[in-house]
Structures are given as C-alpha cells and as structure tokens.
C-alpha cells in the first residue's frame, strides 16, 4: 500500500509531550515546526530540547554533527500559519475535547489538503475530533507515551473514517521515530489507558479506604508485580488532573461504575495537588530530584 511522503512535521503544544515529540522528529531527520501560543512555553521547550540533545551527544548516543543538525531542523513559532506546509501535524495540547476541536478546525483551514492531522490524545474520541474538520479520513490518533524520547511505544488510533493510507503513513512515521506501534480502535481510553487508569483509580480507593499507606501500596505493586513505579507515583508523574480527565472519559463513554473516579483523586485535583509538575500530588516533590521514568501514558 502506498504511503504519503513526510518531510515536514508540525507539533502543536510546547509542553513536555510536544517538546519531546518535536525532539524525536528532528533527531530522526525531519524538519520540524514547534508551535505554542505562549512565547515563554516555547523558550522552555527550546531549552529542554537543547539540553536533552546535548545530553545525548555527551553520552555518545548521537554524534556532535547529528546533534547540531537536529537543532538546526527545529523552528519555533507562536503563529499557527507557519505550520501550513507541514505534511503531518501532531497535536499535543491540553486534554480537552473542546480545545482540541477548536485547534483542528483552525488547522483544517490553514494547512494543505493532503496534510494529516494527528492527535496525541490519551482518551478522547478521534472520530469526534475528526468531525470538526473537512478531512475526517486524514485525522488519526498518534498517542506517544511519556516521555516521548525515552518510551518505545506509540498507540495509533483509527477514527471511524481514518483511511488505510493515513494509517500506514502514521505507522511508518512512528517506526522511523524508532517506536513500536500498537493499533487501537476508537473506543474510550484506547488500549493503554483503558487498562492503566482503573489500576490507578483502584490504588486511590485503597488509599481512600485506609487499606494501606501510599508507600506500601506503591511498594506492593513495584515489588509484587514488577512495575517500575507504583500506581500512585505514576499518577503523580502523569498528572492527577490528566488521570481524572481520562477516568471521566471512560466513565461517560462506557457507562460502567468501575470507572467512576475515586473521591480522593477528585479532592486532590480540586485542591490543586496535580502531581510532580506542580510540586505536590500524592507525594511532595518540592526540592526533590525526580525519580526514573515509568512506563506511563499521557
């Protein structure tokens, strides 16, 4: 089956996911535009990418020439119009269906007719996102795990109208980025979060009902099931607000009470205890060195 040629990749969202995806694409040899509406976010993203690539060079994982070439392939912009020549645009913004639909509607009017619009959403319906565009056959889910430069998996999600050619183009692109691909149909939570979030939610229920301390819950899952990080630590790494959002999508989309968010998780989010990114969640991360990267989804 023929696949479309991809040379220029646009990434929307300068946070940890977007900057990681942009870095991956640049190191793999693509010209990359990284967009964020906030110049300060772009500055942080650029510093993060430069530091990360310098680290790869210092460790001998890529050559100095490859590192410099990768940085030269990256461009940063707050003007969405600059993404108009992209062959693929990967959206990595806030996990909100309304906000993503608004972005896709804007992109649909700007980019080439052939451009593929991919979403890094961890749970939102690709079919519904595609419905906001005039190109539903060219909309697809491309869900990277967090952090994108390290985690080996990409979950591709086909909407109701995603074409075979678009699926194969994105699969080929993910493999060029060095990823292993799994494919999910467009059901709430897809594969990874459909399984992961109920585990995290149950860990919160165990803490909420006094089954054990947070430390014992996490240690039990790490040493008892060989997980690299306990579920409560993992929730902090993902972001408790993101976990809550995904659980709401699962609960509303599947109508099963087993996905109902634990009241303790809701309370933490209401209190602004969103996890590592905010310095406190289930655990306190202020003035602490972050732990190693878990097998996680975001």
Q: Give per-residue pLDDT as tens, 264-291.
A: 999 999 999 999 989 999 999 987 644 4
Instruction: Give me the residue label for tokens 């608004």.
Output: 102
Say what the pLDDT of residue 288 is. 62
Say what the pLDDT of residue 277 is. 87
User: Is 70 in the active site?
Assistant: no
Candidates 247, 115, 119; CA nearest to 193 is 247
For the stretch 229-264, pLDDT in tens is 999 999 999 999 999 999 999 999 999 999 999 999
Instruction: Give me the residue label for tokens 């947070």.
Output: 214
- Based on the domain organization, do 94 and 214 belong to the same domain? no
- Based on the domain organization, do 174 and 209 belong to the same domain? no
17 is in an annotated binding site: yes
State which of 185, 203, 220 marks the end of a domain. 185
95 is in an annotated binding site: yes
14 is in an annotated binding site: yes
Q: Which of 123, 155, 201, 296 is catalytic?
A: 155
101 is in an annotated binding site: no
- Based on the domain organization, do 131 and 234 belong to the same domain? no
User: CA-to-CA distance for 296 and 298, rounded, in angstroms?
Assistant: 7
- Based on the domain organization, do 180 and 98 belong to the same domain? yes
The pLDDT-based confidence of 96 (bands split at 50, 70, 90) is: very high
Tokens of 45: 């993203």
Share of the chain above pLDDT 90, in %: 93
Q: Which of 86, 119, 122, 296 is catalytic?
A: 122
Transcribe the chain into DSSP letters. -------EEEEE--SHHHHHHHHHHHHTT-EEEEE-S-HHHHHHHHHHHHHHHHHHHHTTSS-HHHHHHHHHTEEEES-GGGGTT-SEEEE---S-HHHHHHHHHHHHHHS-TT-EEEE--SSS-HHHHHTTSS-GGGEEEEEEBSSTTT--EEEEEE-TT--HHHHHHHHHHHHHTT-EEEEEESSTTTTHHHHHHHHHHHHHHHHHTTSS-HHHHHHHHHHHH--SS-HHHHHHHH-HHHHHHHHHHHHHHH--GGGSPPHHHHHHHHTT--BGGGTBSSSB-TT----PPPS-B-
Instruction: Give me the residue label for tokens 């003007």.
Output: 79
Average pLDDT over residues 38-50: 96
Q: Which domain holds residue 90?
A: 8-185
Does the pLDDT value for residue 102 go beyond 50? yes
Q: Which of 86, 119, 120, 143 is catalytic?
A: 143
State which of 145, 168, 185 marks the end of a domain. 185
Residues 265, 202: contact at Cβ < 8 Å? no
Residue 75 lies in a domain: yes
Average pLDDT over residues 87-93: 98
Total of domains in the chain: 2
277 is in an annotated binding site: yes
Tokens of 152: 């080996």
Tokens of 290: 């972050």
Residue 284 lies in a domain: no
pTM for this prediction: 0.90
Average pLDDT over residues 12-23: 96
Residue 39 lies in a domain: yes
Residue 297 lies in a domain: no
122 is in an annotated binding site: yes
How does the average pLDDT of the chain come out, rounded? Answer: 94
- Based on the domain organization, do 167 and 244 belong to the same domain? no
The strand pairing partners of 116, in sequence order, are 88
- Based on the domain organization, do 172 and 210 belong to the same domain? no
User: Is 122 in the active site?
Assistant: yes
Q: Which of 86, 119, 132, 193 is catalytic?
A: 193
Say what the pLDDT of residue 133 is. 97
Residue 285 lies in a domain: no
State which of 164, 185, 206 marks the end of a domain. 185
User: Is 143 in the active site?
Assistant: yes
146 is in an annotated binding site: yes
Average pLDDT over residues 164-173: 98
For the stretch 199-225, pLDDT in tens is 999 999 999 999 999 999 999 999 999
- Based on the domain organization, do 23 and 166 belong to the same domain? yes
User: Is 79 in the active site?
Assistant: no
The pLDDT-based confidence of 298 (bands split at 50, 70, 90) is: very low
Residue 1 lies in a domain: no
60 is in an annotated binding site: no
Residue 97 lies in a domain: yes
Residues 83, 103: contact at Cβ < 8 Å? no
Does the pLDDT value for residue 297 go beyond 60? no
Say what the pLDDT of residue 79 is. 97
Say what the pLDDT of residue 3 is. 62
Does the pLDDT value for residue 44 go beyond 60? yes
Tokens of 11: 């990434």
CATH number of the domain that 197 lies in? 1.10.1040.10
CATH number of the domain that 127 lies in? 3.40.50.720
59 is in an annotated binding site: yes
Residue 298 lies in a domain: no
Does the pLDDT value for residue 2 go beyond 70? no
- Based on the domain organization, do 75 and 146 belong to the same domain? yes
- Based on the domain organization, do 78 and 122 belong to the same domain? yes
- Based on the domain organization, do 167 and 205 belong to the same domain? no
Residues 249, 100: contact at Cβ < 8 Å? no
- Based on the domain organization, do 136 and 222 belong to the same domain? no
Instruction: Give me the residue label for tokens 């459909």.
Output: 194
Candidates 141, 142, 155; CA nearest to 196 is 155
201 is in an annotated binding site: no
- Based on the domain organization, do 205 and 231 belong to the same domain? yes
Say what the pLDDT of residue 184 is. 97
Tokens of 266: 């809701």
The pLDDT-based confidence of 296 (bands split at 50, 70, 90) is: very low
């Amino acid at each position: 089956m023929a696949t479309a040629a991809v040379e220029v990749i646009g990434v929307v969202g300068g946070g940890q996911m977007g900057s990681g995806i942009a870095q991956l694409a640049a190191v793999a040899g693509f010209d990359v535009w990284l967009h964020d509406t906030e110049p300060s976010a772009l500055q942080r993203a650029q510093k993060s990418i430069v530091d990360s690539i310098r680290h790869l060079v210092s460790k001998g994982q890529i050559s100095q020439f490859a590192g410099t070439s990768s940085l030269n392939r990256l461009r940063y912009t707050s003007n969405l119009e600059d993404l108009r020549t992209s062959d693929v645009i990967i959206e990595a913004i806030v996990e909100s269906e309304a906000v993503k639909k608004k972005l896709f509607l804007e992109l649909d009017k700007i980019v080439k007719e052939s451009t593929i619009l991919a979403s890094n959403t961890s749970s939102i319906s690709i079919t519904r996102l595609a419905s906001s565009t005039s190109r539903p056959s060219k909309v697809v889910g491309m869900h990277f795990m967090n952090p994108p430069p390290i985690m080996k998996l990409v979950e591709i999600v086909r909407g109701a109208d995603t074409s075979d050619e678009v699926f194969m183009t994105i699969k080929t692109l993910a493999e060029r980025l060095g990823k292993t691909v799994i494919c999910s149909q467009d059901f709430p939570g897809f594969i990874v979060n459909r399984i992961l979030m109920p585990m995290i939610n149950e860990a919160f229920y165990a803490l909420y009902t006094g089954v054990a301390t947070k430390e014992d819950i996490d240690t039990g899952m790490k040493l008892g099931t060989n997980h690299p990080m306990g579920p409560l630590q993992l929730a902090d790494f993902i972001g408790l607000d993101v976990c809550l959002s995904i659980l709401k999508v699962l609960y509303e989309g599947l109508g099963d009470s087993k996905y109902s968010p634990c009241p303790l998780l809701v309370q933490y989010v209401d209190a602004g205890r969103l996890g590592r990114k905010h310095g406190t969640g289930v655990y306190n991360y202020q003035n602490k060195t972050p732990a190693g990267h878990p097998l996680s989804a975001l």
